[in-house]
Amino acid sequence: MYNLVKDILNPKNWLKLILNPRKISVIYERIFYYPGLKFGYIKSTFYKNLIIKSTIFFARRNKRFKEIFFSEINKDSLKLTKYDFQKNFFNQEHVDNLKNNGIIVLENVLSEKEHSEIKKDFINVFDKNLAEEIHNQKSESVIIKKINKKFHEPRLIKISNVISKEIYGKTIKPTHHYLYHKPVELPEKQCPGDNILHVDRFLPNLKIIYFPFNVDFDTAPFKYALGSHKISNKYLSFFLENKKWIFDERNVDANSFLKNVIEVPAKENSLVVALTNGFHCRTPFRSKNDRSTLFFTYPNFNLLSLFFPNN
């Protein structure tokens, strides 16, 4: 928040806005940003706890959030379930499993032709060295590249729309990211927010990952702590009473959420659907093979969506 106010008061930014009025959308996005774990870059316990308590109050008013994130967990049913998804029908069993465990895997998601087209997106770009390397982000032990490409796979968008409506209570247009990882150093160095168990937010959150190629135990499979997405009093206390401001597995207080951690190798043409306010990460690479993924995230669900739920 401090940085936002400082940027708004900066005359240079007003000049930029006059020259390019479309930049007003950036101000809108920053004002109504769905809160993460930076808390406006203000190291104030009072401010942190105010943000958590006020936004959780509104999150409880969302009918879908209440059913999925604020309900009791069935500890006897904690397990990873993989579904053959050839019929592309997301049903109540999928929802119930995701509700309790925080993660499911959908296999055989696209037709052979559709799957082949997405594989070509990765193969052609990297063969021609057209991908943009991401610098100063994530693990120093891994080269990360992204493809700046428009996404035109209607079936994946349709699946995303159905799932986002089940989670958020209304359809949320996703943002997509083509990402490529390749390790340059083994074992990897520990990297917060990447290859150690962490949460994306303290609020309900969804992430969907499409795997065009096989990902085995050696090539950095997704890792998840089953049931850790449930927003209980203990869960909230982890954030409210967190004097270290460390919201991942480096904090010993996180251990109570990490009793059912699994790795999730994925067959090619699979979707991992995960509620990422639960503890998750990319497992560190164990071999120098690469990993290609297509991420769907939902930044278009913002504070206005939280304050005025459509349900």
pLDDT surpassing 50 at residue 85: yes
State the chain's mean pLDDT as an integer.
Answer: 87
User: How far is residue 270's CA from residue 210's CA, in Å, rounded to a whole number?
Assistant: 6
User: How far is residue 298's CA from residue 168's CA, in Å, rounded to a whole number?
Assistant: 10
Structurally, at CATH architecture level, domain 38-307 sits in: Sandwich (2.60)
Distance of CA 288 to the CA centre of its chain: 25
Domain spans of the chain, in order of start: 1-31, 38-307
pLDDT surpassing 50 at residue 8: no
Which among 237, 240, 247, 157 has a CA at the least distance from the CA of 197? 247
pLDDT surpassing 80 at residue 29: no
pLDDT surpassing 90 at residue 231: yes
| Lowest-confidence region among 16-25, 71-80, 106-115, 281-290 | 16-25
pTM of the model: 0.89
For 175, other C-beta atoms within 10 Å of its C-beta total 12
Mean pLDDT of 83-93: 87
Tens digits of residue pLDDT in 268-304: 999 999 999 999 999 999 999 999 999 999 999 999 9
